[in-house]
Amino acid sequence: MSFADPTSMEAVVEDSVVSAESRPYFRDVWSRFRKNKLAVISLVFLVLLVLVAVFAPAIAPYGEAERSSDFRASPSRDHWFGTDIIGRDVFSRVVLGSRVSLRIAFLATGIATIFGMLIGAVSGYFGGRIDNAIMRFTDIFLAIPYIVLAIAIASVAGRSENSIILVLGLLGILPMTRIVRASFLSLRESEYVEAAVALGFTRSRIMFRHILPNALQPLIIYATISVGGVILAEAALSFLGVGPQDPTPAWGLMVAQGKGDLANAPHLVFFPGIAITSTVLAFVLIGDGLRDALDPKLR
């Protein structure tokens, strides 16, 4: 009878982890992603939007609260997107609003991804009573309509940007947890995991060094799409009056303020509405492109 060398077994286990240094893999993913023209166009748009957000104070010709004597003015040479009901430049507020929306979207998604990943990993790996308790708790909150729960928490936590980030981040943990848990349930029975257990590796090492890298694919795709969902949720909360408050140039708040003048000054709703729609659509298309690029069946 021959026994396998423990050193070689450990090497096999280590090789099972998808390393970020695996250049051929990521080159192949990028090659597949580039074939999706809509996803590439959306990525270019997103890069430009991030640049606009970073350099917003230099791009915006007026301040977010700066007023002129023209009220509800139509788009013109001086005011490209017109002015609102109190004379503020709509173009400047849309540009400055990109900072608000992207900041809330990225930070809230980051919170949801990190904590959802940790909770889902624990639930999926250990199973049993721990998994059952976490899933029943998650199911209870998922049964409540998302926007109703967000409004309830935002009303208590406050209406600042940081409060909205916290609210949307906490609510985003629930679906992230279920996605990571599902991946861990399917991967924990893999041969390389059994080999890692046989070698005496700690549970934390097996969870986060061996299983997690192979469970990231659906998480990355969902997180990308979720960024757009957070922007839409923030716009909905602002529209309903529980998001960032005036004079913060939130896109949803701008739509809410302009809806009463839709017949007389449609530009007040049109331009921030287009900003919301195009940004959310870009993230959805990028997520769709990543799904196709990362799908092992297409590789």
| Percent of the chain scoring above 70 in pLDDT | 90
CB neighbours of 261 closer than 8 A, spacing ≥ 6?
Answer: 72, 85, 268
Alpha-carbon span 35 to 109, nearest angstrom: 27
Chain-wide mean pLDDT for the chain?
Answer: 83
pLDDT of residue 3: 45
* Rg (the chain; Cα; Å): 23
Check residue 258 and give its pLDDT.
85
The pTM of this model reads 0.82
What's the confidence (pLDDT) of residue 106?
93
Instruction: Determine the Cα–Cα distance for residues 30 and 243; give it in Å rounded to an integer.
Output: 37
The answer to whether the Cα torsion of 101, 107, 111, 116 is positive or negative is positive
Distance CA 123, CA 209 (A): 16
28-84 tens-digit pLDDT? 777 888 888 999 999 999 999 999 999 999 998 888 888 887 888 888 888 888 888
pLDDT confidence of residue 19: 45
Q: Which residues pair with 83 in a beta bridge?
A: 89
Q: Which residues contact 22 (CB under 8 A, 6 or more apart)?
A: none
Q: Quick one: pLDDT band at residue 5, thresholds 50, 70, 90?
A: low
Q: Which domains does the chain have, with CATH numbers?
A: 22-298 (1.10.3720.10)
Comparing 153 with 112, the larger pLDDT belongs to: 112
pLDDT tens by residue, 247-274: 888 888 888 888 878 778 888 889 999 9
The helix/strand/coil state of 143 is coil
- Contact predicate 179/219, CB 8 Å: yes
